[in-house]
């Protein structure tokens, strides 16, 4: 809803700017103004969703994006379909039909998303994804291959998303030498800190 409000204010700003710019041109200007309002109202979200990785300015501000349900980037046909069906989602007033549709499916998709095969998701924070947790650096017992080093760093970046027991279980499968005073997960975190130089 907040993303929609932001995009609505942006569109109204565009309408105001166009009305000022075309005010001097009489009936011809009014005709051009109405055509531009139609194009902006219906194709503003389509344009941004396709060229900006599924994000209108409002969606970008709120950290959400649109993609195909299978995780691939949204294209022109799907974006046009989902946005043209906004009219039905809006009925009878203030997106009541769209809200009811969202409540009736587990992915909270409105009718336009169901027909277009799209879904709105939270955008991944790339900065957070590359954060290795605090830990004492531990040099590995032997030289690591690039793919081994990458796997250890990937593990460290995701360690906070799983339980301590599961992290230790996964870390113990690496075959690395684990110091007596360290858990397998803590050893991998330390090696990840050493690899990244943090």
List the pLDDT tens digit at each of the 198 positions of the chain. Answer: 899 999 999 999 999 999 999 988 889 999 999 999 999 999 999 999 999 999 999 999 999 999 999 889 999 999 999 999 998 998 888 889 989 999 999 899 999 999 999 999 998 765 555 578 888 898 888 888 888 889 899 899 888 888 999 988 888 887 776 666 678 898 899 999 999 885
25-41 pLDDT, tens digit per residue, is 889 999 999 999 999 99
Residue after which a domain boundary falls, among 91, 122, 153: 122
- CA pair distance 40, 164, nearest whole angstrom: 51
Segments forming the whole domain that contains residue 61: 2-122
Query: What was the pLDDT predicted at 117?
Result: 96
What is the SS3 assignment for 143?
coil
Give the count of domains, the chain.
2
Please identify which residue in the block is written with the tokens 């330390």.
Answer: 190
113 and 26, same structural domain?
yes
> What percent of the chain has pLDDT above 90?
56
114 and 69, same structural domain?
yes
Percent composition of the chain: helix, strand, coil (DSSP 3-state, to 5): 65, 5, 30
136 and 87, same structural domain?
no
pTM: 0.63
- CA pair distance 10, 19, nearest whole angstrom: 14
* Structure letter (DSSP) for residue 163: -
Cβ(55)–Cβ(49) under 8 Å? yes
114 and 59, same structural domain?
yes
Residue after which a domain boundary falls, among 122, 141, 169: 122
Residue after which a domain boundary falls, among 60, 91, 122: 122
């Amino acid at each position: 809803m907040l993303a929609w409000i932001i995009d609505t204010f942006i569109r109204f700003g565009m309408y105001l700017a166009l009305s000022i710019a075309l005010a001097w041109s009489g009936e011809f200007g009014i005709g051009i103004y109405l055509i531009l309002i139609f194009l902006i109202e219906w194709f503003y979200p389509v344009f941004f969703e396709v060229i900006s990785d599924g994000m209108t300015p409002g969606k970008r501000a709120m950290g959400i994006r649109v993609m195909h349900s299978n995780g691939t980037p949204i294209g022109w046909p799907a974006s046009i379909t989902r946005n043209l069906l906004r009219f039905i989602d809006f009925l009878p007033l203030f997106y009541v039909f769209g809200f009811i549709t969202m409540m009736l499916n587990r992915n909270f998709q409105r009718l336009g998303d169901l027909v277009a095969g799209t879904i709105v998701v939270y955008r991944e924070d790339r900065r957070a994804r590359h954060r290795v947790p605090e830990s004492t650096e531990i040099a590995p017992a032997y030289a690591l291959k690039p793919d081994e080093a990458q796997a250890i760093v990937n593990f460290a970046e995701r360690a906070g998303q799983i339980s301590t027991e599961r992290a230790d279980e996964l870390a113990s499968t690496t075959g690395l030498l684990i110091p007596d005073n360290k858990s397998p997960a803590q050893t991998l975190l330390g090696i990840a800190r050493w690899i990244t130089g943090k």
